[in-house]
Amino acid sequence: MLDFIKNLAEFLSNASPFVIFLYVSVSFVTYMPVGPDVFLISKCCVNHSFPIWSFLATILGYSIGISISYFLGLKGRVIIKKRFKKIEKWFNKYGTVSSFIVALTPLPLREFCLIAGFLKIPFLSFLFFSILGLSLKYTVEILIALGILGIKLL
C-alpha cells in the first residue's frame, strides 16, 4: 500500500498545472474521488517548494467548477432536498460570506453551489468568497506540508 501511495504522489507531483486545472474543473462537478489537495501536497512533498502554478491552476479550475455548479442550480433549478433547508438557512444568516466558511471547511461545497444558484445568490460575491476560502485553505495545507518536511520558503 505504501508503494501505491508513493507512486500516486510521484505521478501527481509530475502533473502539469494544465492537467490539474482540467481535473479540478471537471472533478468539482462530477464527484471524482481524489481532491486537488492531493495534487498540491504531492507537489510539495516531491518538489520541496510551494507549487504556485499548480495552486493557481487549482483555484482557476475550482472557479470554473463552482460556476458550472452555480449555473446548474440557477438554470436547471436543481434541488437537493436533504440539504436545501439547511443551506438556505446559512445563506439567510450569513449571506455570501457563508460560501467562504464552506470553502474553508470540509462541508459540501458542490451542493452549496447548486443551491446558491437555485436561490439566486449574487454570483460574483458568491464566487469571490468561495475562491477566497479555497485559497486560504489550500495555502494553509501547503504551508503545513512544507513545514512537516522542514522546508522554509524564505
**Across residues 20-43, what is the average pLDDT?**
74
Fill in the DSSP letter of residue 105. S
Number of neighbours of residue 93 by Cβ within 10 angstroms = 9
Residue 153 has pLDDT above 60, yes or no: yes
Question: 92: closest CA among 119, 117, 69?
Answer: 119
Residues in contact with 119: Cβ distance below 8 Å, sequence separation at least 6, in sequence order? 73, 88, 91
Which comes out higher in pLDDT, residue 58 or 76?
Answer: 58
Instruction: Note the Cα 3 to chain centre separation in Å.
Output: 27
Q: What is the pLDDT of residue 123?
A: 94
Alpha-carbon gap, residue 20 to 18, rounded angstroms: 5
Per-residue pLDDT tens digits for 94-145: 888 999 998 888 878 888 888 898 888 999 999 999 999 999 998 998 888 8
Which range among 46-50, 89-93, 138-142 shows the weakest confidence by mean pLDDT?
46-50
Question: 41: pLDDT confidence band, cut at 50, 70 and 90?
Answer: confident
H/E stretch holding 32? none
* Verdict on whether the full-model pTM lies above 0.85: no
Contact predicate 40/51, CB 8 Å: yes
